[in-house]
Structure 1
Amino acid sequence: MTAVDERGMAHYLDMFEPPEGVKAELLRGVIVMMASPDLVHNLIVLHTQRQIPMDRWYPIQTQDVDIVGEESVPIPDLVVAAPDVLPASGHLLPSALVTAVVEVVSKSSVHQDYVVKRSIYAAGRIPAYLILDPIMAQCVLLTKPAGEGEDANYLSQEIIKFGDPIRLENLGIELDTSEFGTFPDVRPHRYP
């Protein structure tokens, strides 16, 4: 068996083949695996993606994001970037090219989405991080990233209930959340 240090984890993840239906991402040197998402999750991603005008933005699913200075390769539910800044090809999209990321909370991803990824995306200076939470029927819009490493955070936080519109200033759009579903019979959590 070969030992793999934190610097080699990203390379190891490139060679790793998770089982079918499982997503694996590197978050602060830890490989986190998630089962296939629930239909509620997928429909929220679909409703969100369809509201982003493709003449100005590309909402991309399952795109690995490279966070400079981090031992992390997150795979947001949606990455939003301007078409003219995207490279012709590639596995990793540098966070400097990303305008926004969207994560839909699942029953098992609450801590990662609200805490771990919040810090990772802020460290990558991604201007907007939108958390869509079908457990709490709320959206959390985070903007103004600041800080470094695990101390990075977003300085601005806005909480919007499902059903109310969200103004995404940096994309120049208003997101309709009235079609967002929720998970039935799931215990509430304490985040954000």
Structure 2
Amino acid sequence: MIQTAKKFYTFEEYLSYHDDTDYKYELVNGELIAMPPASGLHALIMLFLFKQFDREIERVSLDWVVMPGNLGVRIAENKSRIPDLVIISENQRQAIRSMSSAVLESAPLLAVEIVSAGNPQDDYRYKRSEYAVREVPEYWIVDPIKSKVSVLRLVDGFYDLTEFTGNKKIESQTFPELALTVEQVFAV
């Protein structure tokens, strides 16, 4: 992960920050953290999951939208994360239409992070606790390094963890009828 010079930003400054690069930034305790471009595998997994979620939303006629990694989620006063994918409601989609910077103030229905070699602790530790505090009902950690998908469901303020590997069907409360295995996710 690339870090910029140490200057602390308010959430409002973060929303209006532009540095004329193609980098996306997360705000972590007032500090801008540049997100490096995704690896090819990371991008392919993200595209595959985007298509799977989008098809399932349409198949079941849900009033939801799947958004790729360009929508922020405000976690705390001076903290915002940019998940690889989020599922949001139609009301949330309408709300972001008028935003100058697309950052949700409310929790998405589902957040997905794809683990990168350089920062696995971010997804497994930090974002897990941050998304729980933000009350994201379901959080997926897709780990191509360990060939597993961890599904975390929020129960009484804490995440219950279920790990899926191989040809095991991924079980999701958000998408209970989704027919998807870990092998399919990593066969992209």
Q: Does 1:94 align with 2:105?
A: yes
| Contact preservation (8 Å) 1:41, 1:106 | yes
Identity in percent: 27
**Runs of at least 5 residues in structure 1 that lack an aligned partner in the other structure:** 148-152, 183-192
Q: Does 1:157 align with 2:176?
A: no
Q: CA deviation at 1:18?
A: 6.2
- Cα distance in 1 for residues equivalent to 2:176 and 2:65: 14
Q: Does 1:178 align with 2:187?
A: no
TM-score of the superposed pair, with normalisation by structure 2: 0.78
Query: Partner of 1:113 in structure 2?
Result: 123
Given residue 65 of structure 2, which amino acid in structure 1 is its aligned partner? Answer: Y
Q: CA RMSD in A?
A: 2.4
Q: CA deviation at 1:162?
A: 4.2
TM-score of the superposed pair, with normalisation by structure 1: 0.77
**Runs of at least 5 residues in structure 2 that lack an aligned partner in the other structure:** 1-5
| Contact preservation (8 Å) 1:126, 1:145 | no
- Cα distance in 1 for residues equivalent to 2:86 and 2:151: 15
Pair 163,142 (structure 1): closer, same or farther in 2 beyond 3 Å? same
Query: Partner of 1:150 in structure 2?
Result: none
Q: CA deviation at 1:121?
A: 0.6
Query: Partner of 1:186 in structure 2?
Result: none
| Contact preservation (8 Å) 1:64, 1:73 | yes
- Cα distance in 2 for residues equivalent to 1:70 and 1:141: 27
Pair 171,81 (structure 1): closer, same or farther in 2 beyond 3 Å? farther
Q: CA deviation at 1:145?
A: 5.2
Pair 38,170 (structure 1): closer, same or farther in 2 beyond 3 Å? same
